[in-house]
Amino acid sequence: MFYLQCIGCHEKSSPKEVVYYCKKCGDLLEVKYDFEKLKFKIEKSDWEKRPLSVWRYKEFLPILDESKIVSLNEGGTKLYRCNRLAEKLGLRNLYVKNEGENPTGSFKDRGMTVGVTKALEYGVKTVVCASTGNTSASLAAYAAKAGIRCLVVIPSGKVAYGKLAQAIVYGAEVVQIHGNFDDALNIIIRLSLDCGEVYMLNSVNPYRLEGQKTLAYEVVDQLNGRPPDRVIVPVGNAGNISAIWKGFKEFKELELTNSLPKMMGVQAEGAAPIAKAVKAEKDTIEPVLEPETVATAIRIGAPVNWKKAIRAIKESGGKAETVSDKEILEAQKVLARSEGLFVEPASASSIAGLKKFLEMGEIDKDEVVVCVTTGHGLKDPDTPVKFFVKPVEVEADLDVIKRIVGV
């Protein structure tokens, strides 16, 4: 029903053993399905009657043993129609897919429910990841639910406090390294290649991305079967934009839709190897050695999934853009104040990117646009408190308050 295939040389790998990279050429792997069989399975199933969630689409996911599913009720996040923000930006049809509504507050939960289920299917007892914060929080929660050991490696001092607290409280073994995310991921990849007893759940793991592709399925279902014209996604390690594109393509291949959106990637200016490559029409990236941005979730200089992401953007006819920290923080504020949605800085980069694409004339005002906001604002309370206007402090006196209110 499914198998793993190299995105470069197309060599197939058996899903029976744990593999992260193509054994022949070392390139990334992706999960492939026999679509004829899948169509038949889907027609026979009652998936359309199930509530919106990752597991609504279980027939579309690479699971062998349903009894092993580890779930915290992930997915089913709201698609908000944002009229006030749309009007401000000069757009007619704007939606925000708010992934902060997932159980641990980010889109990572879509991937981890599938990834940790695969860990149980493979019979492993330890799961590991490197993280800028959200991956570690999510993996820690799913490992706790599964009752297995979890080790997370993070860049010291560069993970937002809410995320660090989550990983600690869910009981992960948290190791902070003197280095950045790229250094941490390097170590975790080598660890998992050296030691078969640990299972790596970073986004090079193709099963994790299968969970994340369900965001695309949900958007199509929430828009009554019609994909949007554009999907704008914050890009870090570049797994999510690749996964979402895969989801849209699969729905089309299964004849559940008949169009595809253009995928628009947004990176922070100080950590933008993919956006820079796409803009320069290059097929490879130049890693950023010392990535820096206020959006710590996407502070990544050498994204492992760059090939998949560039392919997704190009195949779909999309574009990529960079946004400054100032533009990110402004977008966070405007989204919160016009729509009541508080998202973390990395998430707000999709809104900052939309503004830029509109200014550049890249997006037409009549297009249907979906911005993905990837994580909840409360993950990182320090950043707004540091950069936004501080509240006034006065004596506990009614007259003083009256004067402030102006009554």
Burial of 258 (0-12, 13-18, 19+ CB in 10 A): exposed
Single-letter code of the amino acid located at 181: F
Residue in 13, 113, 374, 383 binding ligand F0G, rule: CB under 6 A: 374
Residue in 113, 132, 166, 214 binding ligand F0G, rule: CB under 6 A: 132
Rama region for 224: left / alpha / beta (φ>0; ψ in -120 to 50; rest): left
Q: Per-residue x/- marks for ligand F0G, 168-207, CB under 6 A?
A: -----------------------------------x----
CB 274 within 8 A of CB 310: yes
Is residue 135 part of the contact set for ligand F0G (CB under 6 A)?
yes
What's the closest the beta carbon of residue 274 comes to ligand F0G, in angstroms? Answer: 9
Closest CB to ligand F0G among residues 53, 242: 242
Which residues, numbered 231-250, are part of the site for ligand F0G (CB under 6 A)? 234-240
Is residue 347 part of the contact set for ligand F0G (CB under 6 A)?
yes
Other CB atoms within 10 A of residue 244 CB: 28
> What distance lies between CA 248 and its chain's CA centroid?
15
Q: What span, in angstroms and rounded, lies between the C-alpha atoms of 128 and 239? A: 17
- Window contacting ligand F0G (CB under 6 A); options: 31-39, 313-321, 328-336, 342-350: 342-350
Rama region for 185: left / alpha / beta (φ>0; ψ in -120 to 50; rest): alpha
- Window contacting ligand F0G (CB under 6 A); options: 8-16, 169-177, 328-336, 340-348: 340-348
Single-letter code of the amino acid located at 85: L
Strands 262-268 and 93-98: unpaired
What's the closest the beta carbon of residue 308 comes to ligand F0G, in angstroms? Answer: 10
Is residue 131 part of the contact set for ligand F0G (CB under 6 A)?
yes
Q: Please name the residue that has the structure tokens 């699969």.
A: 250
What's the closest the beta carbon of residue 104 comes to ligand F0G, in angstroms? Answer: 10
Point out which residues bind ligand F0G (CB under 6 A): 106, 131-135, 203, 234-240, 297-298, 344, 346-347, 374-375
